[in-house]
Amino acid sequence: MMLRLALRNFVRNTRRSVVTVSAVVVGVWGLIFIWAFIDGVNEQMITNNIQYLTGHLKTHRQGYHDEKELALSLSEEEPEIFDQLPSGSTFAPRIESFALLSNSDASVTAAVYGVDPSRERSVTTLHRTIVEGRYLGGGDLEIVVGQVLAEELGVSIGEAVDVIVQAADGSIGADRFRLVGIFDSGIDTLDESLAFLPMQDAQEIYSMWDQYSAWSIRLADRQDVAATSELLADSLGQDYEVYSWDELLPSVVQSVKFHEAIAYVVLTIVFVVVTAGIANTLLMSVMERTHEFGVMRAMGTQPRQIVSLVIWESLAIALVGIVLGNAVGITFTSIWSENGMNLSNFTEAMETMPGLSGIVYPLLRLDHLILISGAVFLICLLPAIAPAWKASRLKPVEAIRGVREHSHIASKLEQSVRFPSHWLWGQLAWRNMFRNPKRSAITGGASAFGMASFIFLYAFTDGFFEQMIDNSTQLLTSHVQIKITQVGKNEELFDSLSVTTDLAQYPEIIASSERLTVPVMVSSTKQALPVDWVGVEPSKETQVTRIHELIVRGAYLDAEQEGIVIGQSLAEDLEVDVGRRVVITVQDEQNQLVSSAIRVSGILNTGSELFDNGYAFSSINHVQELMGVSSSSISHVALRLDNRNLSTSVSEEINGQLRDSNLQAYPWESIMPVVVQMVDMTRIDFYLILAVIFLIVCIGVMNAMLMSVLERTREVGVLLALGTRPAQVTKTLIIEASFIGAVGIFIGLCLGVLVAKYYGLQGINLSAFIDSMATIPGMTDRVYPHLIASHLIVPTVMLYAAGVFVSLYPAIKAARLQPVEAISG
């Protein structure tokens, strides 16, 4: 009987049902779209890297993946087991290693792939991204490189590129290749670090005649990876190893995990906002039916039946809202899934994440749809239980008459403010707010939750950015650099005496250090890897960066002793430790290859895989000696400021002094675009999610206001019957909404600041995602939210304005009621 009555009530009171259901629909839609966007970003990173570079699987000789030794090679004979691969599978041989690429003006380190052009086309699709020239296949001694790499080398189609490698037999191999093609994948990590050679030329230069280093395999369905990997491993035996795409692309997997870590924090906040919006509307729906429940109790309805009725109504609202929310959310998201979301304005930021481009296609996942639906179902059910139980305990006479218990605190607050006599409607609105404090609390609660969520999101994001920037500038970049070239691995050298400006005249500069940075190949008996070799003045460098604080074994540099400091992960790859020697190979000032064996004096661990794998440090005089340059030759001067926010203004002042030279000062934002772009990338997610949260909060506030007004028809009818003009009724309700919104915003502001301050001291532990954090410049496993006062102004004004604006419709609607109909209900 209660089920039938609940369904009848749901249909009979159309306005109340529509308002309540709309809150559920908007909440479900918001969660579906945000999660689909996040999943779409992750899927694009995975898919693009697989199809551009690795394929789904690779097979090597046992130990090759970890050691990267070309001596662990495969014969040209194709394994018989490849005939049993799933239908639609393709495979191609590879030689994969590193090399030093150079021309007359510059040199860079890069990953070099020797490929069979015709077979490689069936496994990867990088050949489709050629923007100048053509792909491999037209002759011998050809090379194809990424667009960023070509720019760093300063070469164009038809020009020569020298390739210097450490061959499989340990010798140094070198040859001159003609640039025939330049590709632009839209992914910086590929375009700045990859070069491709014809297989026969790669075999020649690496001394790997009739041998390969790997087979790359592409499957028709990524879901077959696990089963196929097991099949290959069992068939090939212990002399071979099989790696799947997620093992081959740890940086992509870690970037996905990092993105998910941030997403889960944000989704939790979104979920809280959605819960608050739905709960507020349901609470208002139940609490404003006092008269109805009083009549039911007077007619003999049992308390448990009223509870049952409310629960059945909540279930009906939940089911209808979830079905419609899924329909709207899936339809809306599917449109973007087909056409893509054009984020080309953020292309540079997108390209810092491996595999991303300017177009994102949101991805709908069934498991996430089910999870959202189940969670929202509980959200709809739980908030109704407490008010339903309380409604069942009402005394029939008081409930029918609309008598409510008055809160002593509310009465005191109501009497604490007196408005001028000419502002009668302001006084009436103030009294209405405290006459029914529960209704006001529910209405203002939506604004409070929204405000608190906005503040915490801002603080979390700003804390994330602050940590990334501070750690990055303190590890290497510093706040300002004086140099000739702005960006790139090939900084032109200059004489330190040519820095004619007196740095001591700038009070903002607290330390400076001269450096010489060159790209080199660092090798051990195991393998050779490309790094940037940074020569520093040890005593000065400790005042500019804190690398010396991160030594985990050995000691920092000594200007009087030869030595090199490398990252822990680089030491593991080279299989060297403190006291062992590594060989540095570099192109000197006369474009000649020179090498030197240097003892490892210290090993550092910054927590950033990008940093620990990419840099090595020595005393600057040792770098100058090997390069064959004077003792005053440097590539840049690093400056540390007392406030990094002054980097641009200080750079401009220094440039005013350097206007007659070929030197220029650059702020950290120009030196380290990857960090700036990473900040921009995160802001994309942030602003998109913020827009959805803002919409959800607005709908929640509007629903609460609408429910509050529509359930007060008798009160409004009495006012109109007593001669109150419709305009005055509208004014009173809008003023009341303004008061409630202001109180809600204030409470939300206090709550958000307290939560942000708490986590700002304790930190948000993301240790479960430590591997993914290690790939992000300057990030560690704990994020400390950071409040910036100026960032509180925008959400405060926006939410308050939204709360007042959405109250216009219900206020105008109430003023147009007919007095007799309103009083009779």
Give domain limits for the chain. Answer: 1-56+253-403, 57-218, 407-475+671-825, 485-662
What percentage of the chain reaches a pLDDT higher than 90? 24
Q: What's the CA gap between 464 and 786, in Å, rounded? A: 8
- Is residue 488 scored above 50 in pLDDT? no
Residue-wise pLDDT for 452-480, tens only, equals 877 887 888 788 778 778 877 888 888 99
User: Which whole number is the average pLDDT over 742-761?
Assistant: 89
User: Which whole number is the average pLDDT over 504-511?
Assistant: 90
pLDDT, residue 511, reads 92
pLDDT, residue 93, reads 93
Residue-wise pLDDT for 174-196, tens only, equals 899 999 999 988 777 788 889 99
* Higher per-residue confidence, 9 vs 544: 544
pLDDT, residue 773, reads 54
C-alpha closest to that of 717 among 791, 631, 817:
817
Q: What's the CA gap between 496 and 506, in Å, rounded? A: 18
- Is residue 229 scored above 70 in pLDDT? yes
Residue-wise pLDDT for 521-542, tens only, equals 898 887 788 899 999 999 999 9
Residue-wise pLDDT for 557-585, tens only, equals 987 788 999 999 899 989 899 999 999 98
Q: Report yes or no: 95 and 203 within 8 Å, Cβ to Cβ.
A: yes
* Higher per-residue confidence, 234 vs 444: 234
Q: Which of 245-259, 384-398, 422-436, 593-607 has the highest mean pLDDT?
A: 593-607
User: Which whole number is the average pLDDT over 48-57?
Assistant: 84
User: Which whole number is the average pLDDT over 58-84?
Assistant: 85
pLDDT, residue 591, reads 75
Residue-wise pLDDT for 683-723, tens only, equals 666 676 677 767 766 776 666 666 666 666 777 777 778 78
**Angle subtended by helix axes 437-472 and 424-435, to nearest 10:** 90
How far apart, in Å, are the Cα atoms of 682 and each of 263, 332, 557, 776, 798? 10, 23, 37, 12, 22
pLDDT, residue 91, reads 92
- Is residue 426 scored above 60 in pLDDT? yes
Average pLDDT, the chain: 81
User: Which whole number is the average pLDDT over 796-801?
Assistant: 81
Residue-wise pLDDT for 73-107, tens only, equals 888 888 888 888 888 899 999 999 888 898 877 78
* Higher per-residue confidence, 754 vs 104: 754
Q: What's the CA gap between 663 and 438, in Å, rounded? A: 68
pLDDT, residue 461, reads 78
Band the pLDDT of 162: cuts 50, 70, 90. Answer: very high
pLDDT, residue 352, reads 52
What percentage of the chain reaches a pLDDT higher than 70? 80
Rg (CA), the chain: 34
* Higher per-residue confidence, 407 vs 739: 739
* Higher per-residue confidence, 222 vs 490: 222
- Is residue 682 scored above 60 in pLDDT? yes
Q: What's the CA gap between 351 and 408, in Å, rounded? A: 60
Q: Report yes or no: 77 and 146 within 8 Å, Cβ to Cβ.
A: no
Enumerate residues 6+ apart whose C-beta is below 8 A from 818.
717
pLDDT, residue 14, reads 73
C-alpha closest to that of 287 among 21, 16, 27, 26:
16
pLDDT, residue 487, reads 45
Residue-wise pLDDT for 363-380, tens only, equals 999 998 998 898 888 877
Length of the chain: 825
* Higher per-residue confidence, 280 vs 45: 45
- Is residue 167 scored above 60 in pLDDT? yes
The pair of three-digit structure tokens given for residue 480, joined into one six-digit string:
């300002």
C-alpha closest to that of 183 among 123, 136, 245:
136
* Higher per-residue confidence, 14 vs 456: 456
Q: What's the CA gap between 14 and 436, in Å, rounded? A: 24
Q: Please state the pTM of the whole predicted model.
A: 0.64
* Higher per-residue confidence, 289 vs 497: 497
Residue-wise pLDDT for 771-793, tens only, equals 555 555 555 667 788 888 877 78
User: Which whole number is the average pLDDT over 386-409?
Assistant: 63
- Is residue 489 scored above 60 in pLDDT? no
- Is residue 406 scored above 50 in pLDDT? yes
Residue-wise pLDDT for 303-358, tens only, equals 777 777 777 877 888 888 899 999 999 999 999 888 887 766 655 555 555 556 66
